[in-house]
Structure 1
Amino acid sequence: MRFIIPVLCVLGFVALLSVPYGCARIVPPSGGPRDSLPPVMVKAVPRDSSLHEPLTGLKIVIGFDEHIQLDNVPQNLLVNPYVKVQPIVELTPDNKGMTIRMKDTLEPGTTYTLNFGKGVKDVNEGNVLKNFTYIFSTGGYLDSGSLRGRVRLARNNKIDSTLMVVLHRHSDDSAVAKETPRYFARLDSAGRFLFENIATGEYSVYALKDAGDHKYHDKSSLFAFYDRHITVTHFTPPADSLVMYAYAEEGPKPKTTTTTKKTTKKEEKKEHKLHLSVIIQGGKQDLLTPLYFQYDVPIGKLDSTQLQLTDTNFVRLPFVFINTDTNHLKYGLRYHWHEDSVYKLIIGKTFGTDTTGVTVLKSDTITFATKRESEYGSFVLRFHNFDLAKHPVLQWVQNDKVVDSMAVTGPTLTRDLYPPGEYELRVLYDTNQNGTWDPGSFFGVHRQPEIVVTPKVPKIKIRGNGWENEYDVTL
């Protein structure tokens, strides 16, 4: 026993040494898990889905289970059917609700829906009550018509969720340009739209970029239309039963600005000359593409006899001259390049003359080399579920730009030489067989755009150094 007591004392002393010096640290209790739930409606006066509401002076008070904030309600709120004067929406004094005052005279026997989009959120965490909707009717029943569908971009099969889908009662083409739609719906992130509690009947369906007036009058803006009128019933159709493809008929007109710079006669003489540059990516000419060169100002007159392509011994070689630039800046030549070879491009002083008669200072000889075949890869693509009757064209895309396209005419496609890199594959249904995508045209002709679809494995990688690349491309 006399040995046990000293041992216990030693153990107690060691335990005391293990306690850190200083005051005890007080740890505040955690606040629990983060609130990730949006507000919940707990009351509404009049109640949601109420009937026989007045045509004028309607006031709606909606309460929630927590404090809320309103975020850009004029932009987020959609009222269906359309009202000329938007409601006034304000927070209640306790910030746990909102008051809605309908300022426009309402239509008799009509069901109205108020969709707040992303306009309602809680105060603490900013959790959004997405697409919160309140419904009421000025008649004795609620409309039960519904319509759903999808909108995709025809050019690349992608989604633009900023588009708005609109319904018109009138069937003539001018309605979408001159009249306000009856109903509106936003697209979600997957390009889907849904109309609920709308009146049954026949509608024309469009999708457009809303510039504020809900009308289509700018052909450079995205637009889509459905080929025929839709009859809305009480039955909700599947999402894929109505698909529209948006396009922009005309490209946006570039803004041009004119600046005036005062120069002396000496500076004017020095500046007034042409500058010519040859375009060779990576320092070596690609074996598969033409050689391009460009001026810094538009050319008014060309003399093709002043352009020569030679080998290193200045033996002239035949080529095809390329002159397709409508801006009169860029020109080129096509030749069957040999690998790892050196060429000379001789451009005479008077090959190009601008509209004022000015040329480059002197003739120029440009020496350049071509790439080796080992710098390329080869590929074999095997196609599955391709409908050749739709004239599919395989598009090779980098940075959202089509860099190459190839008609698909059989079950496989092979290339012995192809530039290495990562590519996104798309398939164009080339209706008019011109090799490029064509937009639609609505007014008068009702021509739908050509459609681009995405394979199940949309991205491939072509490896160089003679690597053989094989892929299955399935639609």
Structure 2
Amino acid sequence: MTTSLKNNKSSSERLKSSLKTRLLILSMFIMLIGLSIQCASIQQPTGGPKDSIPPKILQESPTNFSKSFTEKKILITFDEYVKLANQQKEFSVTPDMGTAPQFKVKKKNLEITLPDSLEKNTTYSIYFGKGLVDYNAGNALVNYAYVFATGDKIDSLSISGNVKSAITKEVLKEVKVLLIPISQDSIFGKKKANIFTTTDTAGNYKLNNLREGTYRIYALQEKNNDRIYNAPDEEIGFLKDSIVLGQDLTNINLEIFKAIPKKFRTQEKKFEKNGSVLLIFNRRVDKPKLHILNDEVNNKDKIVRFSKSSDSATLFLPNLKIDSLKLVLTENEKPLDTILVRKGNVKIEQVIDPQFTPNNGKVDRINHLQVSAFTPIKNIDKAKLKFKEDSLVRTNYQLAVDTNDANIYHIRYNWKKDKKYQIEFTEGAITGYFGEQNKEKKFDLTYDDSENYGDLTFDFTDLDSNTTYLVELINEKKDKIYRIDKITSNNASVAYKQFPGGKYTIRVIRDDNDNGIWDTGDVEKKTFPEPVVYLNKVFTIRANWEQKDSFSISALKKE
């Protein structure tokens, strides 16, 4: 029995020893697998200075700028692991290969598989932009290009220039510049342009590796990235004449604009909650009129308000107990569009909401206080206004309608420093043409005694005779117009009297058709927008200052 126990104990120890050995071997095996995985993966280095060096090219096969190219694949080897970044945006091939090449990264190699659709005797350029980056830090190899020719020579001519906005004159980035051989110009607006590039952040572009020939050049700010001018909200620029390319060309500058859509369309039509009807058009309408076809009463008494640019309209109606409105829009007395507007389930509340200018609670003795409303105002009843000065009711203020706009009323008073004012419009103080009224509304204000107003006068020289110009006073950002004045060679001075202090600049438009607005161009008719020039200076109007300046606008002279 003792022998049996000893044998069992020995067997148990051997079993434990065997299990320990197996566990040790398994642990070592797992460690080896972990180490191999760690070695095989690409790790971000830890510590030390930040990597800022882009990948370097060690080898190109076939070599860059190869001639008589017949290979199906291109292999580019780098000094470190690389990856592709934002390939769709950054990569481009010109001229277009018909079928896009395939790009595949294998560790430190980029393999490019070419399609079978390459043309004979053609120089191809593959541009990578900022799309080739190192694997860890994302440092880009900027503006690398691989160039090859299927013929016996590399085309080497170039065209460069700049792209700006025709109206703001600001340089524009990421605008496509398209080059089309004159023999293929009929594809414009129908098919992709094969030769193209994109402007950089400074609005500059360069088309490289071009062959001799005659071309048309266009700049396109597009929405759908198809290199086809085919959407009404895309902006286009062009040169009136073709380009004859026999040597490198520089300063081929283009200005883009949004053209008048080929087909008129009412973009939006709806009943608003205030009872008005809103219509938005896809272009300006010349001498517009609206007629209601299915309601004689509404047609007779309606009020129509077109925007200053005549690309939208608002209708106010006496009778809103209708389900729909059928309208005809005319341009120059000719029918342009028939519009059906359904009322739907809009809950209408016809209330006049008075608005005040200025709206910052400050008033001065020059502009005083303006009262207006979106809804047409028929009358403001002074008896239903409460005008208080330090809680004391005053009646010796003036209430008068504007001489140019019947929807604006002026409240004038001998405003005093250190006084608090309140104007209360009691319910029904303002009435509209179709029974609309205001709800009670109070407006608190104080007198602005800073007298932050000055005078500014401009005299313009070098004007063409028998030509009208529009002088626009605008803000520094060029997105707000404060005032528009017309000038001619016989009356070329503009004065801004008692104008609010601030920074302004001037834009001058040559109004060739004398219609009081800036007119855009037409790429099909090869007509350009009306020319614009900015006075490259910001003017500061200071309190109680009088300034006078003279400027030449010879840049707008007709050729």
Q: How high is the TM-score relative to the length of structure 1? A: 0.71
Question: Which residue does the alignment assign to 1:81?
Answer: 95
In the alignment, structure 1 residue 396 sits paired with structure 2 residue 485 = no
Query: Which secondary structure state, in structure 2, belongs to the residue aligned with residue 75 of structure 1?
Result: helix
In the alignment, structure 1 residue 276 sits paired with structure 2 residue 353 = yes
Question: Which residue does the alignment assign to 1:449?
Answer: 529
Given residue 355 of structure 2, which amino acid in structure 1 is its aligned partner? Answer: V
Unaligned runs of at least 5 residues, structure 1: 1-29, 261-267, 324-330
Question: Which residue does the alignment assign to 2:405?
Answer: 322
Query: Which secondary structure state, in structure 1, belongs to the residue aligned with residue 172 of structure 2?
Result: coil
Question: Which residue does the alignment assign to 1:224?
Answer: 237
Aligned residues of 2:356 and 2:369 also touching (Cα < 8 A): no
Aligned residues of 2:102 and 2:113 also touching (Cα < 8 A): yes
In the alignment, structure 1 residue 460 sits paired with structure 2 residue 536 = no
Counterpart selection for 2:436 from 326, 345, 359: 359
Alignment of 1:59-458 (within 5 A): 59-92=73-106, 95-170=107-182, 175-210=187-222, 211-233=224-246, 235-239=247-251, 242-249=252-259, 272-281=349-358, 282-284=360-362, 287=366, 291-295=370-374, 299=375, 304=378, 306-307=379-380, 312-313=395-396, 317=400, 319-320=402-403, 322=405, 331-333=407-409, 340=415, 351-353=431-433, 359-360=436-437, 374-380=451-457, 387-389=462-464, 391=469, 393-404=471-482, 405-406=484-485, 414-443=495-524, 445-457=525-537
The 2-side partners of 1:45 and 1:289 are apart by 77
Question: Which residue does the alignment assign to 2:29?
Answer: none
The 2-side partners of 1:172 and 1:136 are apart by 23
Q: Which runs of 4+ in 1 moved over 6 A?
A: 251-260, 308-311, 341-350, 362-373, 408-412, 470-475
The 2-side partners of 1:318 and 1:271 are apart by 28
Question: Which residue does the alignment assign to 2:30?
Answer: none
Distance 1:243 1:395, change over 3 A: farther
Query: What CA deviation, in whole Å up to 9, does each residue of 1:350-396 have, x standing for no partner?
Result: 8425xxx552267999998986692312335577xx64338463432
The 2-side partners of 1:41 and 1:460 are apart by 52
Given residue 388 of structure 1, which amino acid in structure 2 is its aligned partner? Answer: L
Query: What CA deviation, in whole Å up to 9, does each residue of 1:51-99 have, x standing for no partner?
Result: 1112xx610011233332211223211111112221111113xx33311
Distance 1:248 1:76, change over 3 A: same
Given residue 247 of structure 1, which amino acid in structure 2 is its aligned partner? Answer: F
Cα distance, 1:402 vs structure 2? 2.5
The 2-side partners of 1:44 and 1:173 are apart by 36
Given residue 187 of structure 1, which amino acid in structure 2 is its aligned partner? Answer: T
The 2-side partners of 1:168 and 1:455 are apart by 35
Distance 1:123 1:403, change over 3 A: same
The 2-side partners of 1:77 and 1:275 are apart by 56
Query: What CA deviation, in whole Å up to 9, does each residue of 1:248-278 have, x standing for no partner?
Result: 2369987789999xxxxxxx9x973413212
Query: Which secondary structure state, in structure 1, belongs to the residue aligned with residue 89 of structure 2?
Result: helix
Distance 1:99 1:31, change over 3 A: same
The 2-side partners of 1:438 and 1:424 are apart by 21
Cα distance, 1:213 vs structure 2? 2.0
The structure with the largest strand share of the pair is 2
Query: What CA deviation, in whole Å up to 9, does each residue of 1:262-315 have, x standing for no partner?
Result: xxxxxx9x97341321222223557459935224xxx5xx674x3578994477
Given residue 51 of structure 1, which amino acid in structure 2 is its aligned partner? Answer: K
The 1-side partners of 2:369 and 2:527 are apart by 35
Aligned residues of 2:122 and 2:151 also touching (Cα < 8 A): yes
Distance 1:259 1:313, change over 3 A: closer
Aligned residues of 1:395 and 1:428 also touching (Cα < 8 A): no
The 2-side partners of 1:365 and 1:73 are apart by 58
Cα distance, 1:110 vs structure 2? 0.7
Cα distance, 1:446 vs structure 2? 2.3
Percent identity reads: 25
Aligned residues of 2:380 and 2:429 also touching (Cα < 8 A): no
Query: Which secondary structure state, in structure 2, belongs to the residue aligned with residue 217 of structure 1?
Result: coil
Query: Which secondary structure state, in structure 1, belongs to the residue aligned with residue 152 of structure 2?
Result: coil
Cα distance, 1:187 vs structure 2? 0.3
Query: Which secondary structure state, in structure 1, belongs to the residue aligned with residue 351 of structure 2?
Result: coil
Distance 1:157 1:368, change over 3 A: same
Query: Which secondary structure state, in structure 2, belongs to the residue aligned with residue 74 of structure 1?
Result: helix
Query: Which secondary structure state, in structure 2, belongs to the residue aligned with residue 322 of structure 1?
Result: coil
Distance 1:63 1:172, change over 3 A: closer
Query: Which secondary structure state, in structure 2, belongs to the residue aligned with residue 388 of structure 1?
Result: coil
Given residue 349 of structure 2, which amino acid in structure 1 is its aligned partner? Answer: H
Q: How high is the TM-score relative to the length of structure 2? A: 0.62
Cα distance, 1:453 vs structure 2? 3.9
